[in-house]
Chains A and B, each alone.
Chain A
Amino acid sequence: MNKEIICIVCPLGCRMDVELDGTEVMAVQGHQCKKGPKHAEKEVSFPGRILTTTIKTDVPEMPLLPIRSNQEIPKDQLMACMKEIAGHPVKRPVKLGEPIIQNILGLGVDMVACRTMQ
């Protein structure tokens, strides 16, 4: 199977044609340096993203607290994480970096606060 993967390591943004056998990269074409195939491999084996979003608070002057995942979350779990976060309003005070939801959906990743809320 062939798949197009765009390398995002530098602004050139090479469009790579990646030949796959399951989740194994067999061949890569269209890259202009060796970082391309490396990026392709990661995108195929673990396509993860940092999730950044907000969570409701009990503070009228600051109705939302920005939060982020402290590690990458598998791409196909992002929407499920969003649903999970929607059910958890947070109370003050909160410190920067404090875990707000631990081990979200059993993924081994914490959602942590991106700012202090007094």
Chain B
Amino acid sequence: MITHDVDLAIIGAGPAGMAAAISAKEKGLENILLLERAEYPGGLLHQCIHNGFGLHYFKEDLTGPEYAERFTTQLNEMDLRLSLNTLVTHLNPDRSIVAINPEWGEFEVLPKSVVLAMGCREKSRFAVGIPGSRPAGIFTAGLAQKLVNVDGYMPGEEFVILGSGDIGMIMARRLHLEGANVKAVVEIMPRVGGLVRNEVQCLHDFDIPLLLEHTITEIFGNHRVEGVRIAGVDKDGKVMKETEKDVPCDCLLLSVGLIPENELSIEAGIELDERIGGPIVDEYLQTNIDGIFAAGNVLQVWDLVDNVTLDGVKAGTNAARFAAGELKKQPNEIEVIPGENIRTITPHKIVGSEDVEFALRVQNPIQNAELRIGEKTKKFRVLSPTEVVTVTIKPSEMEACRESGKIEVSCHERKE
């Protein structure tokens, strides 16, 4: 078996992995290897042909492929080593990696540091438990997106989409533009799961029906999907039988959420945050195994790719600092405690004495919100669960927390 000794191995060459590689190299790390499963770098950006990427990072409105090419060009210019068609099969607690590709067969990588950048994957029908037979014509929205935007294949003619996450709404528009009949986007919650911008520009613009507080209770068809049963739900999320109606269609798309892809992390013994599904990390994005970092959607499902890039920059920079022996830990850790109205938050603990950037999502939409992180408060006109908020705290603002070993984060409505 071939063995590669490297300073940094990065698993996944999507937006997080590419940014990590570039930043680590800029920090002076020479021997970097990017391992990518697909035949090209860039990850999901290639199939996300819509615009809205890069508004924060580049101050420009780019499409997914344009955003990706900025980074792939840089990878080439900086001469970073990229191993494509490469599947990582094992990650061990000592950071060693086993992978396989057509060129080297099965091979081993012995890295000084690792960045996990495997991204996330879509929840499937199994996750939402819709009864019925198993006909052809049921796709996750992201798979349909790849078929339509990359492979040039229309998966059906008449669509129903379950879930109003951004990918679901964007696919509704895309399919409509390609001449398909999108009969409904069905959402169990009283509001859309994605951005308002997408509700307006993907659904309203093309008069695509949006059924809020509805769900799908049955899928019809044996060989091919022939239709679905749609029903309203009450306040407790219970199906109201009397509202059921059957809608013929030959395709059902599921846009019911994303989960960080962490099989390799689990194998290595990396502890995960049960609520988010990603590794437990400190402010350097380091996991419980020294020298293994996590960045992007493998850590938490971000709202914007710009934030994934920034995460990658952070992990790459810190991996380089680790390799150079520069990452310092304080003797007493501070544990981050999510309080009222906080759905997810990273980092989970603070180990150093530098500025800490928190990234969080609230549980429910709040107007005139006040976010409290330890002693510090910050005001927001509005906070929405569809957005990730980032707040930076200085070490001087955490003195008291260092004593108690805890920092609590919560979000309330402001009392004027």
Contacts and interface: CB of A to CB of B under 8 A. Distances in A.
Given A66-B63, A114-B63, A12 B51 contact: no
A106 to B, nearest CB: 20
27 contacts: A10-B382, A11-B195, A11-B196, A11-B386, A12-B381, A13-B199, A49-B201, A52-B49, A52-B50, A52-B63, A53-B177, A54-B149, A63-B152, A64-B152, A66-B46, A66-B65, A66-B149, A68-B49, A79-B177, A82-B177, A82-B178, A114-B49, A114-B63, A114-B65, A114-B66, A115-B68, A116-B69
A96 interface: yes
Contacts of A6: 196, 199-200, 204
Nearest to A43: B200
Interface of A: 6, 8, 10-13, 49-50, 52-54, 56, 63-64, 66, 68, 75, 78-79, 82, 96, 114-116
Given A6-B200, A50-B61, A11 B66 contact: no
A56 B152 contact: yes
Contacts of A116: 69
A50 B382 contact: no
B197 interface: yes
Contacts of A79: 177
A64 B51 contact: no
Nearest to A68: B63
B150 interface: yes
A8 B201 contact: yes
Interface in B20-75: 46, 49-51, 61, 63-66, 68-69
Contacts of B69: 96, 114-116
Interface residues of B, number: 32
A10 B382 CA distance: 9
B151 interface: yes
A54 B46 CA distance: 11
B205 interface: yes
B387 interface: yes
A11 B63 CA distance: 21
A49 B178 CA distance: 16
A8 B149 contact: no
Nearest to A69: B51
Contacts, number: 72
Given A50-B61, A68-B51, A78 B177 contact: yes
A75 B151 CA distance: 27
A117 B28 CA distance: 32
A54 B47 CA distance: 10
Contacts of B152: 54, 56, 63-64
Closest 8 CB pairs of A and B: A13-B196, A66-B49, A115-B65, A63-B152, A11-B384, A8-B197, A114-B65, A12-B382
A13 B178 CA distance: 28
Q: Which of B177, B178, B179, B204 has the most CB of A within 10 A?
A: B177
Contacts of A54: 49, 149, 152
A115 B62 CA distance: 11
A63 B204 CA distance: 31
Nearest to A6: B200
Interface string B159-196: 00000000000000000011100000000000000011
A53 B145 CA distance: 12
Nearest to B62: A114
A11 B387 contact: yes
Contacts of B195: 11
A6 to B, nearest CB: 5
Given A10-B382, A53-B49, A64 B197 contact: no
